[in-house]
């Protein structure tokens, strides 16, 4: 076959793409894939594919640099005391290593070649547990150093030790020959474990996030410093990654073609590093509750059985009207309970069952009424709407507008027009 310069050929050996510069045949670009099948792509499509190839390389290299940079930034003096940032930085490093392994296994990273990782890349099994611990830290549940902490990393450790043992065994050993002969099924087994692990951890992360969201509605009156709504963002990212891994598994089962998978994973991980790094840096520290303040998963028996005492309800309402504790933007259920000399669980039961609100709505209804009162007060006419909201105990304009309209049906500006001048 006649040749000419310019064609690029891809050969896949043991699921790792190795780029080889070859001659050109008959003026068309040839790409060579696993199982030694060859097909030809017309020149315009080849040019486009080369463009996307170069773009993917830029993204992956930039992702690696970003992961290292954000890791250093998250562990700088100003933020290194945050355990949440510690887990996030380890997560970014793990993903960066996976990208490096995909790009350079068997060439520069000879000690981490595909033969050493014939069972699969063990860093994949670090990602989901690190996500879990990051969520734990954000929700005020400290990850304690114990055997239970180590359990989460057993799949990673097992794969590491197994890979190191296999690396020491000669390539002509019957065990290695057998594994090489069943590499396709090993790959399927690896991806089954990855998909299952990601799915299980995402389920519990979502469960913990929903539980925390319910908790803060019962504990705080302003959610600006405690809301972790951005957790939904990274849950969406890793749900997408999990679905892609499921696609990888289905592809392996039905086709066994890994030619496109490794490079795609590298690009997806790099984009995820960008997103997580950017959002992680911007994420504010959440309010840390004491362990004693975080309630049990179920209420105490006495608060469930007993009906709310009407005298206590009246006492609560009178205290709110006379003392106006809601003017404090940092008011919490625990702090209000101390002012009333009640236990947290009793006060929570009074508000939930006696009044019919959660703590968040209960307090902010008083703030809305206070805003209305301020709007009618001639002494407050020189205040802006935001100034009035801050005086009433709100912490931000967006929250004030949202809550005011929810309880009145009007925006603050619309309501202001109804106030007699």
Determine the pLDDT at residue 92: 86
* Per-residue burial over 373-384, b = 16 or more CB atoms within 10 Å of its CB, e = otherwise: ebbeeeeeeeee
pLDDT band at 37 (very low <50, low <70, confident <90, very high): very low
- As a whole number, mean pLDDT of residues 32-57 equals 49
For every residue of 187-237, DSSP letters joined together read: HHHHHHHHHHHHHHHHHHHHHHHHHHHHHHHHHBS--TTT--TTHHHHHHH
Question: For the chain, what are the domain ranges?
Answer: 4-41, 48-282, 301-418
Q: Which long-range contacts (CB under 8 A, 24 or more apart) does 189-197 make?
A: 190/119, 190/120, 191/120, 191/245, 191/248, 191/249, 191/252, 192/249, 193/125, 193/155, 194/120, 194/124, 194/125, 194/245, 195/242, 195/245, 195/246, 195/249, 197/125, 197/128, 197/155
- Residue 142 CA to residue 199 CA, distance in Å, equals 23
Which tokens hold the place of 419?
A: 């106030």
pLDDT tens digits along 284-311: 555 455 544 555 444 444 444 467 788 8
At 418 the pLDDT is 85
Residue, of 72 and 95, whose pLDDT is higher? 95
The per-residue pLDDT for 56 is: 67
* Res 13 pLDDT > 70: no
Position 145 scores a pLDDT of 63
Backbone φ, ψ for residue 202 (5° rounding): -65, -35
- Six token digits for residue 158: 């097992």
Return the H-helix or E-strand segment holding 253. helix 231-254
DSSP assignment letter at 146: S
Do 301-418 and 48-282 have the same topology in CATH? no
- Residue 144: the pLDDT is 66
Cβ neighbours of residue 401 closer than 8 Å, sequence gap 6 or more: 411, 412
* pLDDT tens for each residue of 63-84: 777 777 777 766 665 554 577 7
In the predicted model, is pLDDT for residue 420 greater than 80?
no
pLDDT of residue 383: 86
Closest by CA to 355, choosing from 391, 241, 261, 364, is 364
Q: Which pLDDT score, from 0 to 100, does residue 75 have? A: 65
Contact indicator for 386, 400 with CB cutoff of 8 Å: yes
What's the CATH number for 301-418?
A: 1.10.10.60
Mean pLDDT, rounded, for 89-95: 86
* In the chain, % of residues over pLDDT 90: 22
As a whole number, the mean pLDDT across the chain is 75
* % pLDDT > 70, the chain: 70
- Token pair 């890979």 in the structure block, residue: 163
pLDDT range class, residue 225, cuts 50, 70, 90: low
CATH 1.20.1070 fits 48-282, yes or no: yes
Residues 411/404, Cβ–Cβ less than 8 Å: yes
Both tokens of residue 270?
């790099």
Instruction: Give 138: exposed, middle or buried? Use CB within 10 Å, 0-12, 13-18, 19+.
Output: buried
Higher pLDDT, 112 or 358: 358
The answer, yes or no, to whether residue 87 has pLDDT greater than 50, is: yes
Confidence of residue 51 (pLDDT cuts 50, 70, 90): low
Under 8 Å between Cβ of 375 and 419: yes
Note the pLDDT of residue 17: 40
Strands (E) located in 61-143: none
């Amino acid at each position: 076959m006649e040749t000419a310069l310019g064609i690029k050929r891809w050969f896949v050996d043991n699921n790792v793409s190795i780029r080889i510069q070859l001659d050109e045949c008959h003026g068309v670009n040839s790409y060579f894939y696993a199982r030694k099948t060859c097909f030809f792509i017309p020149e315009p499509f080849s040019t486009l594919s080369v463009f996307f190839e170069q773009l993917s390389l830029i993204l992956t290299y930039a992702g690696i640099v970003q992961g290292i940079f954000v890791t250093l930034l998250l562990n700088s003096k100003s933020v290194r005391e945050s355990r949440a940032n510690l887990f996030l930085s380890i997560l970014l490093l793990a993903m960066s290593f996976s990208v490096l392994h995909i790009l350079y296994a068997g060439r520069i990273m000879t000690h981490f070649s595909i033969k050493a990782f014939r069972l699969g890349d063990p860093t994949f099994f670090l990602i989901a547990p690190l996500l879990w611990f990051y969520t734990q830290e954000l929700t005020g549940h400290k990850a304690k150093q114990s055997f239970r902490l180590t359990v989460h990393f057993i799949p990673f450790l097992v794969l590491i030790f197994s890979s190191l043992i296999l690396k020491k065994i000669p390539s002509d050993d019957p065990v290695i020959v057998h594994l090489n002969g069943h590499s396709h099924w090993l790959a399927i087994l690896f991806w089954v474990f990855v998909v299952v692990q990601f799915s299980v951890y995402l389920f519990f992360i979502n469960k913990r996030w929903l539980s925390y969201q319910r908790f803060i509605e019962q504990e705080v009156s302003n959610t600006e410093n405690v809301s972790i709504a951005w957790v939904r963002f990274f849950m969406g990212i890793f749900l997408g990654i999990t679905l892609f891994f499921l696609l990888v598994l289905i592809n392996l089962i039905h086709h066994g073609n890994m030619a496109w998978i490794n490079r795609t994973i590298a690009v997806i991980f790099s984009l995820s590093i960008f997103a997580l790094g950017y959002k992680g840096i911007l994420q504010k520290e959440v309010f840390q509750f004491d362990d004693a303040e975080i309630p049990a998963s179920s209420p105490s028996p006495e608060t469930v059985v007993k009906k709310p005492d009407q005298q206590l309800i009246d006492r609560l309402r009178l205290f709110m009207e006379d003392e106006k504790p809601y003017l404090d933007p940092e008011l919490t259920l625990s702090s209000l309970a101390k002012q009333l000399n009640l236990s947290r669980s009793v006060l929570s039961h009074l508000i939930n069952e006696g009044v019919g609100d959660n703590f968040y709505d209960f307090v902010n209804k008083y703030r809305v009424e206070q805003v209305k009162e301020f709007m009618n007060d001639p002494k407050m006419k020189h205040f802006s709407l935001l100034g009035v909201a801050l005086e009433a105990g709100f912490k931000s304009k967006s929250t004030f507008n949202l809550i005011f309209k929810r309880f009145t049906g009007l925006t603050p500006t619309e309501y202001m027009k109804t106030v007699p001048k």
